[in-house]
Structure 1
């Protein structure tokens, strides 16, 4: 097991807070707002050029300096970039073609090729900004077949993951060349949605060392998974952490699939930090125990609470849960050191 470590934070993923009005319509405004709430780091999404224009930064290193300056002015660190939408667009089933239209410019005909180009820009932006990690979704080629009825062909899932690998392989190489880890976020609605599918995805890419995990326990609650055990199973690969709460309210009328209901009516739903059922004391302890020293980043998605209230409470919640790990054993003063072989045998009662 790795040496215990103190994680960084609190951080915040800005994606859900972007809006049409100040301070939520620009990176300087969001930075000022986040710093004022006590956040120390920001995970910045890459799908909105108003906030971060990855194509422009990829063309000009001067733009990267401007971004670093904006964050430094507010005492913030850029922890990761988020490119989940581009990852999903890279490989999505035709059933999602209408939904995908909302995620790319109207004049884009080949959304997968466009997404691949954007991901290359993101890799170059990470390098220019000195960001070591980027969060992505895997895509959703086989998600429509997640429940095996009608019975699916035996080779369908294998070919789906092989195609994922074909599309991701050059992207992974681009990020590797940039010195950046790709943190895949297991997420319902994506082909990589749990540990088993992550293993399959990573194996299809030759277990490339740049393929890491973004750990988000809320997605595991909605799937009935052991989110604490997930840390033990995959700790060496966890390189990013979304602190997001959730709850699953057992129901006689609906279950994990949600009955096509709105979020507020689904048995499984996301909540603001502290309002759900996740045992974050166990989560933070497990990550610290396994040596996770990355960022603890708030991702706010709640069907009840106002976003601004969730952010303000979330900053304090994360700060309160981060464990500053001890540098010495609590019983160090009582430990006997350097006993001779004969002293050890005496302690065992083996010699007089």
Structure 2
């Protein structure tokens, strides 16, 4: 066992155009002031990081980390959720997702997909240059529009989608291996990797690739009515990243998992700030600690009700209270009598 690192904050929901969220120096000082010791960096946020320079220059990466360190925080991981999403886009979502891409590839799905692959690879290279061991991402989706089987799915449709998804990700995973960095897919509705079964379908198709790992976020499992604690027991060897995000699911006579297209405030299932929802984080931290999770506890603020700055400030204390400093001795060591092989045999009546 080892003590989980943290608290850290994912900056994806905070990077913006106004101070202190519009520069790397200012946002890292702000994060430290909220009580964080680590930050997870959205690789698409150009006001925070120049991904091209980070992939090309270790000097740039050293300076980037140096600014963070001077302000009291450590870079925990880079994240490529938006770029990863564009590795695989069903045509139904072409227009909706086009805004994630560089302007010169919008409206051109083939060019956009090639751009996305290079972006994810660049983030893996930048991660190596920063001495990081994992990168967060989305898988993208080709089969998601067919998640509910009506009309009946044609035989082989889902299999073909996952074959293609694996084909697109295989060279990225091989690059991740060259860089020594894990690709941590956030298991997330809207992605083709949205639960354990779909993750296993993908993993089978990439030959059990050692770099195809998971970002564990229990909030997405609460909204699917999936057992988020059993999930840790099943996949702990593949869980290399952890988002601390809460959620609640309160079905009524009018709506359930699909939430009737309601907005977030009025949905049966909605995201909440840590501690305001239904996730048993005491049990989550206990299971991850018992299984030897080596990563960071990273707060991701997404709440239908609470202001983001309040959620961030409260989140650092919440994580600090839940991190378990692991023991170096057994609680009953005081009663140890000492033994050797001969004594053990005598106690078993074997001598």
Normalised TM-score (structure 1) = 0.95
1:51 equivalent to 2:48? Answer yes
Q: Whole-Å Cα distance in 2 between the matches of residues 46 and 342 of structure 1?
A: 60
Q: Counterpart in 2 of 1:228?
A: 229
**3-state SS of paired residue (2:163):** helix
Q: d(CA) in 2 for partners of 1:340 and 1:49?
A: 63
Correspondence for 1:125: 126
Quick one: structure 1 residues 118 and 343, their matched pair in 2 at CA, closer, same or farther if it must change by over 3 Å?
closer
Distance 1:272 1:137 in 2: 22
**Matched ranges for 1:281-300 at <5 A:** 281-300=282-301
Q: Tell me the secondary structure at the aligned position of residue 16 of structure 1.
A: coil
Q: Is contact 1:272–1:302 with CA below 8 Å preserved after alignment?
A: yes
CA distance in 1, matches of 2:202, 2:218: 20
Partners of 2:202 and 2:104 in 1: CA distance: 31
- In structure 1, C-alpha distance between the alignment counterparts of 2:23 and 2:157, rounded to whole Å: 43
Q: 1:74 aligns with which of 58, 67, 71?
A: 71
2-structure distance, mates of 1:323, 1:57: 34
**CA deviation after TM superposition for structure 1 residue 130, in Å:** 1.2
Q: Deviations over 1:58-106 (max 9, x none)?
A: 2333321221111111121111111011111000100001111111123
Among residues 13, 16, 21, which one is paired with 1:19 in the alignment? 16
In angstroms, what is the RMSD of aligned CA positions? 1.5
The question of 1:65 aligning with 2:62 is answered yes
CA distance in structure 2 between the partners assigned to 1:311 and 1:342 by the alignment: 56
Is 2:7 the partner of 1:10? Answer: yes
Q: Does the Cα contact within 8 Å between 1:5 and 1:290 map onto a contact in 2?
A: no
Q: How many angstroms apart in 1 are the aligned matches of 2:287 and 2:163?
A: 33
- Rounded to whole Å, the distance in 2 between the matches of 1:280 and 1:311 is 17
How far the C-alpha of 1:281 sits from its partner, in A, is: 0.3
Distance 1:133 1:75, change over 3 A: same
Report the alpha carbon displacement of residue 236 of structure 1 after superposing the two structures with TM. Answer: 0.9
SS in structure 1 of the partner of residue 248 of structure 2:
strand
User: Relative to structure 2, which stretch is displaced further, 210-219 or 49-58?
Assistant: 49-58
Residue by residue over 1:122-152, the C-alpha shift from the partner in whole angstroms, topping out at 9 and shown as x without a partner, is 1111111111110111111000011111001
Report the alpha carbon displacement of residue 50 of structure 1 after superposing the two structures with TM.
Answer: 1.3
Matched residues in 1 for 2:211 and 2:313: separation? 33
Report how many aligned residue pairs link the two structures.
347
CA distance in 1, matches of 2:131, 2:344: 54
State which drifts further: 118-127 or 297-306: 118-127
Partner of 2:34: 37
Unaligned segments of structure 2, at least 5 residues = none
- TM alignment of 1:103-122, pairs within 5 A: 103-108=100-105, 109=108, 110-122=111-123
SS at match of 1:281: helix
Give secondary structure in 1 for the equivalent of 2:260. Answer: helix
Runs ≥4 residues deviating over 3 A:
339-345
Which segments of 5 or more consecutive residues in structure 1 lack a partner in the other structure?
Answer: none
Structure 1 residues 262-282: Cα deviation after superposition (integer angstroms, max 9, x where no partner): 111110000001110111000
Aligned mate of 1:102, from 96, 99, 105: 99
Which of 333-342 and 49-58 deviates more? Answer: 333-342
Displacement, 1:53?
1.4
For residues 159-170 of structure 1, the aligned pairs below 5 Å read 159-170=160-171
3-state SS, counterpart of residue 152 of structure 2: coil
TM-score between the two structures when normalised by the length of structure 2:
0.96
- Corresponding position of 1:175: 176
In structure 1, distance between residues paired with 2:342 and 2:131 = 53
Q: Secondary structure at the match of 1:293?
A: coil
| 8 Å Cα contact 2:138/2:185 also seen in 1 | yes
1:210 is aligned to 211
